[in-house]
Structure 1
């Protein structure tokens, strides 16, 4: 009773997102969405419903698994592993962490809707990824955890769940950045409690104009290609974690938001040309399907790509511009 009263008191924070409603109809123990065909770098993820009952579960030997309740199920979850029995009521933002190779049993007292499973490769813990001096003890510190809450990890999970649900043009960049942030936060949170040295705060210096323009030119030249944080960071001669912060300081936007905006402008230009199909434009701008491109374009502009193309064509038909003193029809 006390738990439910507390949940009502923080109802605003635990209120399910709109995408939770669409997952609820899929039934128990079902895969709702997967990153398998998205080309993500840094982590993989699945959204699942889980039915009532007990299931055995084995974590891959090369991945750390982080599960997050992104909807708020208010269901009792019991996990048994490593000599620990963990009983907790799942609510929105509840997190379960399992190290590589862990065999465990998980019991759900009720059906659970919208559980995000994230698999983080151990390679994410390398110093080259985080840009800081992290030794092998960081991996050992990521041990089996009882259920816990962490607002930063939860927000990262919500962003990944939203990207799984609705693909965006720069989703790969977003996930790559979030994977680095997720890794840094996990190591910070689970580092050896006996150490007096906190996980180093990663400082970032704004990009100088020469390196910034080099990165911006690279982005512009590859809007219809494969843009990754790794490639952009290497052009700026920074680790990818430092790069994301430095780029944000210099431009005022994260890399994925900047690329999303530029790809939207490129999409408008390609639609205006009128000689490429919507499917071809979607593929060129790194969408996995025309439907996802249409959804993202409509969300950004209020129109479908087809409507935007028709309106521009009708507006421009019969109009003319003056170029170098001569009429030029558009």
Structure 2
């Protein structure tokens, strides 16, 4: 749970329902629920297991700038959904779990930190991942599937991908989807709402906002400027 000012409340599994009293009004409050799978050994390529979850203790009203930034990023995505928002939230969830293991556990840090790995994305793995992304731009893309293709945990895949490509998975996918949108606008007369939904935008309005932000033009105006002409009926 993250308040607007960056104050954090941590409630681990097994806590009974309770209440929190606030001394003053808080404009925004974000509840983040992490599945237990985010703390599994396969998530971090080590043997954290149940000991990591058991080591998490209840804490109230503490400050953690990194957790606050993660919360702000999640809230921003909820307010203005993007085409690769699912990938962003998946990556943020992994970072959030890692931060909790690193800073908020009572067990020795050496037992809970993700194992360092020298395993990255060589050219063969990177090519497989990029081919998978291009093939599935008009469909669902998940960080988990990309990581499986690269034979890495989600936590390490996101970092290895950034090192190899120079951008995070969700930013790369967002850019590729916008490029695909440009091609669809120029080469076809598909309705804008159809293009928006096929590229995983939640609505035509969100597609229009993202497209205009990236290109300076609304999709319809971009199509007109590109000179698309409806084919004449036979």
Query: Counterparts in 2 of 1:239-250, with a 5 A limit?
Result: 239-250=153-164
Deviation at 1:218, TM superposition (A): 0.8
For residues 222-244 of structure 1, the C-alpha deviation after alignment (integer angstroms, 9 at most, x for no partner) is 10011111111111111111111
Instruction: Find the counterpart in structure 2 of residue 98 from structure 1.
Output: 11
Question: Within 2, Cα distance between the matches of 1:129 and 1:210?
Answer: 23
Q: Is the 8 A contact 2:82 2:202 kept in 1?
A: no
Question: Within 1, Cα distance between the matches of 2:146 and 2:222?
Answer: 31
Question: Within 2, Cα distance between the matches of 1:209 and 1:196?
Answer: 33
Tell me the secondary structure at the aligned position of residue 30 of structure 2.
strand
Instruction: Find the counterpart in structure 1 of residue 116 from structure 2.
Output: 203
Question: Within 2, Cα distance between the matches of 1:308 and 1:68?
Answer: 40
Deviation at 1:271, TM superposition (A): 0.9
Instruction: Find the counterpart in structure 2 of residue 289 from structure 1.
Output: 203
Structure 2 gap segments, 5+ residues each: 230-234
TM-score (norm 1): 0.65
For residues 114-161 of structure 1, the C-alpha deviation after alignment (integer angstroms, 9 at most, x for no partner) is 211111111211111222220312111222102111121111111111
Answering whether residue 68 of structure 2 is matched by residue 154 of structure 1, we say yes
Instruction: Find the counterpart in structure 2 of residue 145 from structure 1.
Output: 59
Instruction: Find the counterpart in structure 2 of residue 174 from structure 1.
Output: 88
Q: Is the 8 A contact 1:166 1:296 kept in 2?
A: no
Please say which of residues 126-135 and 101-110 is displaced more in the overlay.
Answer: 101-110
Q: 1:256 aligns with which of 154, 170, 178?
A: 170
The verdict on how the C-alpha distance between 1:197 and 1:203 changes in structure 2, with shifts beyond 3 A counting, is closer
- How large is the RMSD of aligned CA atoms in angstroms? 1.7
Q: 2:185 aligns with which of 271, 274, 292?
A: 271
Question: Within 2, Cα distance between the matches of 1:169 and 1:219?
Answer: 13
Question: Within 2, Cα distance between the matches of 1:201 and 1:135?
Answer: 12
Which structure dedicates a bigger proportion of its chain to strand?
A: 1
The verdict on how the C-alpha distance between 1:198 and 1:128 changes in structure 2, with shifts beyond 3 A counting, is closer
Question: Within 2, Cα distance between the matches of 1:132 and 1:153?
Answer: 22
TM-score (norm 2): 0.91
Structure 1 gap segments, 5+ residues each: 1-66, 71-91, 318-330
Instruction: Find the counterpart in structure 1 of residue 2 from structure 2.
Output: 68
Please say which of residues 135-144 and 243-252 is displaced more in the overlay.
Answer: 135-144
Question: Within 1, Cα distance between the matches of 2:69 and 2:115?
Answer: 19
The verdict on how the C-alpha distance between 1:127 and 1:174 changes in structure 2, with shifts beyond 3 A counting, is same
Instruction: Find the counterpart in structure 1 of residue 232 from structure 2.
Output: none
Tell me the secondary structure at the aligned position of residue 113 of structure 2.
coil
Instruction: Find the counterpart in structure 2 of residue 303 from structure 1.
Output: 217
Deviation at 1:250, TM superposition (A): 0.6
Question: Within 1, Cα distance between the matches of 2:115 and 2:156?
Answer: 7
Answering whether residue 97 of structure 2 is matched by residue 183 of structure 1, we say yes
Q: Which has the higher contact order (CA 8 A, sep 6+)?
A: 2
Q: Is the 8 A contact 1:188 1:198 kept in 2?
A: no
Question: Within 1, Cα distance between the matches of 2:111 and 2:12?
Answer: 21
**How many residues of Structure 1 are paired with residues of Structure 2 in the alignment?**
227
